[in-house]
Amino acid sequence: MENTTECMPLIGDFAPEFTANSTNGKLNFPTDFTGKWIVFFSHPADFTPVCTTEFVAFQNNMSGFAQMNTVLVGLSVGSLTSHLGWLDAIAKMPNGVNIEFPVIDDATGQIARKYGMIHDIESDTHAVRAVFIIDTVGVIRAILYYPAVLGRNIQEIMRMLMGLQTADAFKVAMPANWIPGDNVLIPAPQTAKSMQNHSGEQPWFLMHKPLSQQEIYDKICKDANKTK
């Protein structure tokens, strides 16, 4: 089988640009969202069960993403007509929702290949479940891949987003299993003298400090709401 997957962009790369139609109109990506964080995610196909549950979950958490100055953009290798039909079906389900985020028309798969979303061993036409977290200047900060059978954990994506924004705002790093309100990691000493002056039970290269959930909210969420 011919490998049709382009070299995917990596963490630290600028997000590849494209122009496409979507369920919310024409998009120039990521330019239209400059100044905002983006969660750009792909789906194998329209009208599939796992994808449908994810769309509902993303929509139900849109206000939480908005508080973090973040927009959602979906992609499926399908036509705009198919996307619109799928969104209409989701809205008419019991406990259905109106999907407000854009879903990109990528009937040719060109955009999915540009982002390395098509893995030929899995399928040569359907995108895997990819997530790209892109910052306010268009740099890719995190990439996640899920198999077709496993739905994404929206809360984990939100935790990652908050962690990246916290790292930028406070110049810290997050330990394993961090959630907002837990202690964070500060840069280790850079000289022998400062290392020797370190005191405390933790080793010199593993230094924590408290950072409250309220401090994070005040810095990230409130600042994001000021820019709306």
Helices 49-60, 154-170: axis angle to 10 degrees equals 40
Q: Which residues pair with 186 in a beta bridge?
A: 207
DSSP assignment string, 56-94: HHHHHTHHHHHHTTEEEEEEESS-HHHHHHHHHHHHTST
Q: Which of 15, 27, 38, 51 is catalytic?
A: 51
Residue 225, Cβ neighbours under 10 Å: how many?
12
CA distance 39 to 142: 10
CA distance 135 to 15: 9
Active site residue 51: yes
Say which residues have a Cβ less than 8 Å from residue 183's Cβ, sequence separation at least 6: 175, 208, 209, 210, 211
Distances (CA, A) of 168 to 143, 147, 156, 173, 190: 17, 30, 18, 9, 20
Q: Annotated active-site positions, please?
A: 51
